[in-house]
Structure 1
């Protein structure tokens, strides 16, 4: 912060200017400062801001796909977003990796070289716990991964790596493939320590557990497509994307038809006071205000869509659809 002059100092400066003791031009020359920006010649910047911004856009799309996939795969609340995209040396990245670690070495065909995909240890154990039927709130100590746990994560990693294809399609048609899994960063040296890399960090939250996903792409891998890593090129190609074909529409319809929907047959609704609730005993009867032979409301994902009558089929409770609620009906839910 610049020094603040007192009123007496201001008056003295004005008097000096009036008498000619101080020249205005001399003051202006003294206040001029050269703007110098430090530059490290040992690690020159190889990626422009526009290229880093394009990588941010690409992986922002990837994070949305990953969010959708993991939500269904783990059947849990998942929230993933891009935290940062930066350029640094591979030594700085590898030096920050803790052991044990979940590192996936990925071939980015047809690009040369490999990239590194790291999932933080706490997040990895949370994913394993969810896959094996737990609640995902892993609070145990950080330890080495077992062979079974590595196999489980490898199967999942092969699927989430394939999600790179769509976000990168405006730049290049990738065929990513998991080469191998490492749990020690010393055995995951994909480039020399001084090599420049682009590090994309995703912030992930699965249930109550938070962690980071790091995507390390060396400069030598990106070098063939650097001219295409500009927001101008990316938006121009994305705006010219072809319309959906009939074949793609059929595939999309098939996938939608396989989606799971929650069906609820609602017997009835009623209200009781808190006092009545507190005094409930075994054998008490609550009147639902509905006739025994009256049709039940059937909801699809909380939307009232059908009416039906209860019954059994093969010794299991069942409900028979008797009416479809169409548009225009008083009880129709949009």
Structure 2
């Protein structure tokens, strides 16, 4: 009788919680929570790039680079220099602008064949020290760069520093990936340098030159998009640095190959016969073979020599006439070894 007093809608409301499964209840609660949440704006043009994590190859390159730069810089300054490096980090280009707000020596560089432009920011005090050192001053008198631009002489010294940096950096990269460093232009204020958008990710590394009690920083900033074409090389855990030419391994391999025994086959001739002719053969019959002046010699069915058949010291022998490539074409021994 109670059911007769309830409408169909009221019955559905009473049975709704009983019929829903646990997953349906969770989905319903999630839908209700989303209905009250405000919509978020999605801008395809300003999405940040995904960083794949640390780049072990970059770290290996920079370790090799500081060893090379320590030698070249010490030769340039005529004194022992210690070079340190920081871990490669990723930051937005806008953060980089705020970090280097003071006047600095900012050099736009290219790492060919990679597309894009990077930055090499040199501490202006390092430029002043280099000028004073090369002209015999010994950094005894403090000089300031504030309120003025670099002179022509100082810019020539910057060119010398860049050549020293580029030579060591290219050599450090060579085992992993061949690059060519090129100087595009120089500025003193990052506000005049627009190589990327403010939200663009940059890979930054700081190299510190310790000269006596003073230390000077050189910041290398490369846009992340510039490194993306070789990101598989940079992030590979097993890639590391490509091994240099191993002469010991080469000699060992050559000795092992030379010690391999192979079967050399010289086919003196062949003839095609019908089955009835073979059946008709009897003892004493003679089968004539076509004779060729040059006999191919094969190793595992691969022609390697062209020889002549004869007798040498009362023994049947073959005299080598030509050396052959695997495709049976002739080559002269010693001329690129048939390659």
After TM superposition, the score normalised by the length of structure 1 is 0.56
CA distance in 1, matches of 2:101, 2:108: 16
Task: Give the superposition deviation at 1:63.
Answer: 1.4
Matching of residues 7-18 of structure 1 within 5 Å: none
Matching of residues 1-334 of structure 1 within 5 Å: 44=48, 46-51=50-55, 53-136=56-139, 139-143=142-146, 144=148, 145-230=150-235, 232-235=237-240, 237-238=241-242, 240-243=243-246
**Structure 1 pair 93/43, CA: closer, same or farther in 2 (3 Å)?**
farther
**Structure 1 pair 195/59, CA: closer, same or farther in 2 (3 Å)?**
same
Partners of 1:162 and 1:177 within 8 A in 2:
no
Two-structure CA RMSD over aligned residues (Å): 2.3
State the Cα deviation string for residues 88-144 of structure 1 (Å, max 9, x = none): 001111221143211111111100001100111222211221122221355333333
Partners of 1:171 and 1:225 within 8 A in 2:
no
**Structure 1 pair 171/148, CA: closer, same or farther in 2 (3 Å)?**
same
Task: Give the superposition deviation at 1:68.
Answer: 0.9
SS at match of 2:87: strand
> Is there any run of 5+ residues in structure 1 with no aligned partner, and where?
1-40, 246-334
CA distance in 1, matches of 2:236, 2:116: 24
CA distance in 1, matches of 2:78, 2:202: 34
Task: Give the superposition deviation at 1:218.
Answer: 0.3
After TM superposition, the score normalised by the length of structure 2 is 0.55
CA distance in 2, matches of 1:69, 1:225: 28
Partners of 1:137 and 1:209 within 8 A in 2:
no
SS at match of 1:205: strand
SS at match of 1:72: helix
Q: Which residue matches 2:267?
A: none
CA distance in 2, matches of 1:135, 1:182: 27
State the Cα deviation string for residues 217-237 of structure 1 (Å, max 9, x = none): 1011101000101353433x5
**Structure 1 pair 233/111, CA: closer, same or farther in 2 (3 Å)?**
farther
Partners of 2:58 and 2:234 within 8 A in 1:
yes
Partners of 2:80 and 2:211 within 8 A in 1:
yes
Q: Which residue matches 1:302?
A: none
Q: Which residue matches 1:332?
A: none
> Is there any run of 5+ residues in structure 2 with no aligned partner, and where?
1-42, 249-339
State the Cα deviation string for residues 232-272 of structure 1 (Å, max 9, x = none): 3433x53x321379xxxxxxxxxxxxxxxxxxxxxxxxxxx
Partners of 1:197 and 1:216 within 8 A in 2:
yes
State the Cα deviation string for residues 181-213 of structure 1 (Å, max 9, x = none): 212212222111111010001122122221211
**Structure 1 pair 124/213, CA: closer, same or farther in 2 (3 Å)?**
same
